[in-house]
Structure 1
Amino acid sequence: MTIVILNTGCANLTSIKIAIKRLGYTSQITSDPNLLIKSKKLIIPGVGTASAVMNILNQKNLINIIKSIKQPVLGICLGMQIFCKFSEECNGINTLGILNNSSTILLKNSHLSLPHIGWNYITFNKVHPLFKNIQRNSRFYFVHSYIVPVNKYTLATTNYGISFSSVIQKNNFFGVQFHPEKSGDVGAQLLKNFLEI
């Protein structure tokens, strides 16, 4: 049993692996279905486009495997957005359907620029093991243009023109819109909390 980082072909796989190693854990970057099923924890990273990631998951026949996994799964940024049933990105694409809503463009009418890049605050909606030893209104590092709207599975929100889900959980599926591997000590603490759930 190991921690698996799903190889989605995106750019930040190694930085997540290094962040996990700093916490004293070992992980493996792979898309091998057997290793995903046997993993202790699964992390789905996200840099790139929804269509590119979904194409890889389709080609490797991983969609139903991911949806059937019972151990904790963490989606990071795009990895969280594809938990939705649909993404507005790339003229619209069907995604995993773990959440029964759509990932939408962050700002349709605003003076703020896209993508949303940099440090921003998250506001906890409830007490949760993911937030252990993390102070309220902590800042994390974001890079994204699409969001998961606030919904009943939202654990924390962030505001950039509008409020959006920055942390979600549905059953064993956890998601963060920010990049914990790029968020310094507070990001490391959140990763540690996930690995210890």
Structure 2
Amino acid sequence: MSAVTVLAYGAGNVASVQFALERLGATVRLTADPVEVADAERLILPGVGAAGYAMARLSDLGLMEPIRAFPRPLLGVCLGQQLLFETSEEGEGVAMLGLIPGTVRALAPAADRPVPHMGWSQLSLVQPDPLLDGLDDGAWAYFVHGYVCPDGDATLARADYGVPIPAVVRSANRWGCQFHPERSAAAGARILRNFLELPA
């Protein structure tokens, strides 16, 4: 099974991601070293919390350029997916990695859809992709988020939360999952296995 590097930059729960990957037989390296990131076989960018704090951590650690230049498979998870986009309207606005066009916006609350969107939602597959091989349309995934990425050409799968939630996105060698695959049972394990099997 493949080797995978998980960014441990202080803005994500890396332990659960690490354990999920190790259950699949992967060799996992946790690091915030820019040289190790640049040399990784494949890279996972986790994230929880505020986009501004996460981007400040990436900048302080010298990780923004190695991530932007990374030429092999890269997967952003939860906030990590959002960081792949250009900007977020969080706070006073946050400049992000700019790898996928568009602005991340706050979810609008409603009586039947409180914010954050927290819990299990079904996935609707939009475009075929190696990351989604073997995944059934209607598979369940576990979400925790209060902001949502723009729905556009990069969207591979959606969830419905009163508005379309781009649940899986891709641009070139960069993928993102808005949900937590490490907490999404069989569907999440399938996606992580597919990521480990992508050609590096």
Question: Do Structure 1 and Structure 2 share a fold, with TM-score over 0.5?
Answer: yes
Question: Percentage identity across aligned positions?
Answer: 36
1:37 and 2:38 matched: yes
- Quote the residue 2:191 is aligned against: 190
Deviation (angstroms), 1:51: 0.9
Q: Where does 1:45-64 land on structure 2 (aligned, <5 Å)?
A: 45-64=46-65
Aligned length, in residue pairs: 196
Where 1:142 maps in the other structure, the secondary structure is strand
- Quote the residue 1:127 is aligned against: 128
Q: Where does 1:104-115 land on structure 2 (aligned, <5 Å)?
A: 104-107=105-108, 110-111=110-111, 112-115=113-116
**Counterpart amino acid of 1:64?**
E
Deviation (angstroms), 1:110: 2.5
Q: Distance in 1 between matches of 2:59 and 2:156?
A: 29
- Quote the residue 2:71 is aligned against: 70
Deviation (angstroms), 1:11: 4.3
8 Å CA contact retained: 2:3, 2:26: no
Q: Distance in 1 between matches of 2:118 and 2:3?
A: 32
Q: Distance in 1 between matches of 2:11 and 2:136?
A: 30
**Counterpart amino acid of 1:100?**
P
Q: Distance in 2 between matches of 1:41 and 1:93?
A: 26
CA RMSD of aligned residues (A): 1.2
Q: Distance in 2 between matches of 1:85 and 1:11?
A: 20
Q: Distance in 2 between matches of 1:106 and 1:65?
A: 30
- Quote the residue 1:160 is aligned against: 161
Relative to the length of structure 1, the TM-score reads 0.96
**Counterpart amino acid of 2:13?**
N
**Counterpart amino acid of 2:153?**
K
Q: Where does 1:77-92 land on structure 2 (aligned, <5 Å)?
A: 77-92=78-93
| Structure 1 unmatched runs, 5+ | none
**Counterpart amino acid of 1:110?**
A
Which stretch of the first structure deviates more once superposed, 152-161 or 8-17? Answer: 8-17
Where 2:10 maps in the other structure, the secondary structure is coil
- Quote the residue 1:27 is aligned against: 28
Q: Distance in 2 between matches of 1:13 and 1:186?
A: 19
- Quote the residue 1:14 is aligned against: 15
8 Å CA contact retained: 2:12, 2:46: no
Q: Where does 1:133-152 land on structure 2 (aligned, <5 Å)?
A: 133-152=134-153
Q: Distance in 1 between matches of 2:101 and 2:25?
A: 36
| Structure 2 unmatched runs, 5+ | none
